[in-house]
Structure 1
Amino acid sequence: MNTIKLLFISVALMSLMACGEDQGPGAAANEVAKLDTNTPDGAFKAVVASLRSNDLKTMIQTSMSEEQYNELVAEFEKGKATQFSQSDEMQFQQMMGMLTSEGAEDTLYAMAAPQLEQARAFLPMALMMGKDQISQMVQSNGMLDQAQQESAIKVGGAVIDWVGENDILSEEVTKGAIAAAVATAKALDMKSLNEVKDMSFDQALEKGAVVLGGVKNIMGAYGISMDDMLDSVEVSNVQVSGETATMDMTMELFGEEITQAVNMVQKNGKWVSEK
């Protein structure tokens, strides 16, 4: 499955969300204008500000060189010629039909309720085993260095503790999440995956902004604020050497302060992430 097809199936399947007001394309422009994006830390902060505003267009423009951006647009246009499978199309239409039907919130909660009962019975045992399982999985991941493993284990443990302290499977929380799902299905206003073929790249980013805003709202239903996490981001120890730079990024996740090294490179005069 090519990148563009995967992107839009992901948009569809992540429709458990709703877009916030005064956010989306262009919303971060004023904030980004205050930053010196000619510096590596300024460029990094511009990406954070864009995510804070659900502004994927500004995020992409500030986090990619002109060459990378043009390649992404070209890949998108090429990907529009790909045919979605009948199975993908049917799955999308069924999902959107269910989410936008009359009485969808009550119907979906009635479907979820039996699974919630089972999950409540299983959760305590899962939490008891969770930290050890996370630690084992992280330590067996050869793609992470020691510092990254320590951060991942720390965050994983904090998530386990947070889940144990909050009733994430309550009726109130679940209904809030379902309400976000229904609202987003309407906000996306897509009845068929083939509508992607008529979208411009900017229009696709608008749909992506709905998804990003909805991720925040669905997390909010569970008492998690992604915007608070983004607001907690701080950059320090910026070291520039020619066209490369390193810095330390610190943010708060589930009550734990996490510090991660960030590597930047300069491409055509623009600072972008090394990866």
Structure 2
Amino acid sequence: MKAHLKLGSLLLVLLMGLVACGGDDNSAEAEISKMDINTPDGAFMASVAAMKSNDLKSLIKNSLSQEQYNELVTEFENNKTGDFSEADKAQFAQTVTMLTSDGAEETLYAMVEPQLEQARAMLPMMLMMGKDQILQGIKENPMLPEAQRDSAATVVGAAMDWMGENDILSEDKTKAAISALVNTAKELDMKSLDEVQNMSFDQALDKGSIAFGGVKNVLGAYGISMDDMLNSVEVDTVDVEGDKASMVVTFEVFGESVSQVMNMIKKDGVWIGEK
């Protein structure tokens, strides 16, 4: 059990404690250099610019205090030292081989095709029956700040409506998503867990960047553009009081305009989101 937890933690740190397609060609530094990141709205928009460019290093640099950055590095180092079983290593290698071998796209589609027809038949009913229950659960979720519940419900509701109106399980979209997944796996170029464990933090950021770019491409195969959403982000009503600030962030997602109050604090000279 511990090995699986360590594996999950490590991949989480690699792919999400991380987020975003790396390399100098995708750097957001030039755009961020034109922004006033010493203001809360400037710092927030710098993070948005980093995500648009799939530039994880800039995202980390501009959205974490030094203390938080050090904690992230420590978490990464602690998790990558875990001892993985031979079964873990074999499963990782098998998955990578399946995703990167010749004919991978055809093989993967052949695996999911039998389930597609059944899923297409069930999806409308699942969306219809589950929507109200899911939205009610969001609005009553004590783990979610009350100020965020309405906007979260709006996003989830719009997403479910969008799924009902679009044939997301079509053959063409499924094959396009598989193609994006396979291309991402090839670009990641990781063949073993030993390689993962031996990465430096900067190398992990580069891999995480590729993974985030891959997530964008998979979503794009279904007609969901993260970059369109990021391009729609606007900040208004910025209120600064010392080292604390609040502002209204608005963005477009699934045809809905969503507004959310964002609280920021200045820590180690950096404006970051308040927990």
- TM-score normalised to structure 2 length: 0.91
Q: Which residue of 2 aligns with 1:213?
A: 213
**Structure 2 vs 1, CA of residues 155 and 106 (structure 1 numbering), >3 Å: closer, same or farther?**
same
Cα shift at 1:176: 0.3
C-alpha distance 7-22 of structure 1, shift in aligned 2 (>3 A) = farther
Map of 2:52 onto structure 1: 52
How far is the alpha carbon of 1:202 from its aligned partner?
0.7
- For the 8 Å contact 2:229–2:253, the answer to whether it is kept is yes
Counterpart for residue 257 of structure 1? 257
Segment of structure 1 superposing worse, 246-255 or 72-81? 72-81
Aligned match of 1:6: 8
Q: Is the 8 A contact 1:4 1:76 kept in 2?
A: no
Q: Deviations over 1:110-154 (max 9, x none)?
A: 111111011011012112113212222213311234442211221
Mapped contact 2:239–2:245 kept (Cα < 8 A): yes
Q: In structure 2, do the counterparts of structure 1 residues 4 and 199 end up closer, same or farther at CA, with 3 Å as the change threshold?
A: farther
CA gap of 1:164–1:20, structure 2 versus 1, over 3 A, is farther
Q: After the TM superposition, which of the residue ranges 95-104 and 143-152 deviates more from structure 2? A: 143-152
**1:181 equivalent in alignment to 2:192:** no
The residue aligned with 1:193 is 193
Q: Equivalents in 1 of 2:6, 2:232: separation in Å?
A: 32
In structure 1, distance between residues paired with 2:155 and 2:105 = 33
Instruction: Name structure 2 gaps, 5 residues minimum.
Output: none
1:158-177 deviation digits (Å, cap 9, x = unpaired): 11111111111111000001
> 1:21-170 alignment to 2 at 5 Å?
24=26, 27-170=27-170
Letter in 2 for 1:6: G
Aligned mates of 1:232, 1:182 — CA distance in 2 = 29
Query: What is the Cα deviation at residue 197 of structure 1?
Result: 2.5
Q: Distance in 2 between matches of 1:205 and 1:13?
A: 8
Please give the per-residue CA displacement for 1:30-65, whole angstroms capped at 9, x wherever unaligned. 111011011111111111111111111110011111
TM (norm. structure 1) is 0.91
Is the 2:15–2:212 contact (alpha carbons within 8 Å) kept by the matching residues of 1?
Answer: no
| Cα pair 1:11 1:211 within 8 Å, conserved | no
Amino acid at match of 1:179: S
Between the two structures, name the one with larger relative contact order (CA 8 Å, sep ≥ 6): 1
Are the aligned partners of 2:9 and 2:79 in contact in 1 as well (CA < 8 Å)?
no
Amino acid in the other structure paired with 1:98: M
Does the 8 A contact of 2:120 with 2:169 survive in 1?
Answer: yes
Match of 1:239 in 2: 239
Structure 1 residues 115 and 11: CA distance shift in structure 2, 3 A: farther
Residue 12 of structure 1 and its aligned partner are, at CA, apart by 8.2
How many residue pairs get aligned? The number is 270
Deviations 1:46-97 (A, max 9, x none): 1111111111111001111123222322332333321123333222111111
**What is the CA–CA distance in structure 1 between the aligned matches of 2:161 and 2:233, rounded to whole Å?**
22
Helix, strand or coil at the partner of 2:257: strand
Structure 1 residue runs of 5 or longer lacking an equivalent are none
- Residue identity in the other structure for 2:262: V
Q: How far apart in 1 are the matches of 2:87 and 2:256? A: 42
User: Aligned partners of 1:61, 1:4: CA distance in 2, in Å?
Assistant: 26
Secondary structure (helix, strand or coil) at the match of 2:144 reads coil
> How far apart are 1:106 and its partner, in Å?
0.8
**Is contact 1:249-1:260 (8 Å) kept?**
yes
Report the AA paired with residue 260 of structure 1. Q
In structure 2, relative to structure 1, the CA distance for the partners of 1:23 and 1:163 (3 Å cut) is: farther
Name the amino acid aligned to 1:95. T
Letter in 2 for 1:239: D
Percent identical? 60
Measured at CA, do residues 230 and 191 of structure 1 come closer, stay the same or move farther in structure 2, by a change above 3 Å? same
Return the offset for 1:187: 0.5
